[in-house]
Amino acid sequence: MIKKEGLGWRIIIDSSRNKFPILIGGDSWAIELTNSEWKSLIEVVNDLFNQYLEIKQQLMGDEDITLELARDTWFAILKGDQYGWGLKLILNASGSFNRGAEVSWPRTVTESVVNAMRIMWDSCYL
């Protein structure tokens, strides 16, 4: 089992669990994911974060930005400014489990959770 957590977030990968080996969570919520949902989530979050990094230096003062990206079963929304950002994720009901969820992390923890996602993905799947 691999577990990473911080103030306002947690990610657990437990390969002994067959259907839902990944858990992501916030202060008052958690959802279990399949491996394919996790893989798709990592791709969406990485792409959205990279778009933010490209645009962030062009923002002026407290100018707000909203970036949206849909892929596979995920719809991701990044809202912030050049100093930080929050992340909202929507898992659309589809596939054999036909379930959906809507989750978010505030700007105070988003960068930490995204960095942990990248590290966990690299250590488990590359």
Mean of pLDDT values over 112-119: 90
pLDDT tens, 76-88? 999 999 999 999 9
* Confidence category of residue 93, pLDDT binned at 50, 70, 90: confident
Q: What beta strand segments (E) does 16-97 contain? A: 22-26, 30-33, 65-71, 74-81, 84-94
Q: In the structure encoding, which two tokens stand for residue 117, read together? A: 């996602």
Task: At 124, list the tokens.
Answer: 């488990």
pLDDT, mean of residues 44-59: 93
Confidence of residue 126 (pLDDT cuts 50, 70, 90): very low
CA distance 10 to 45: 16
DSSP classification of residue 99: E
Burial bucket for residue 8 (CB in 10 Å: 0-12, 13-18, 19+): middle
**Ordered domains of the chain (ranges, CATH):** 34-125 (2.30.31.10)
State the DSSP H helix or E strand holding residue 101, giving kind and residue range, or none if neither. Answer: strand 99-105
Asked if 97 and 90 touch (Cβ cutoff 8 Å), the reply is no
pLDDT at position 46 over 60:
yes
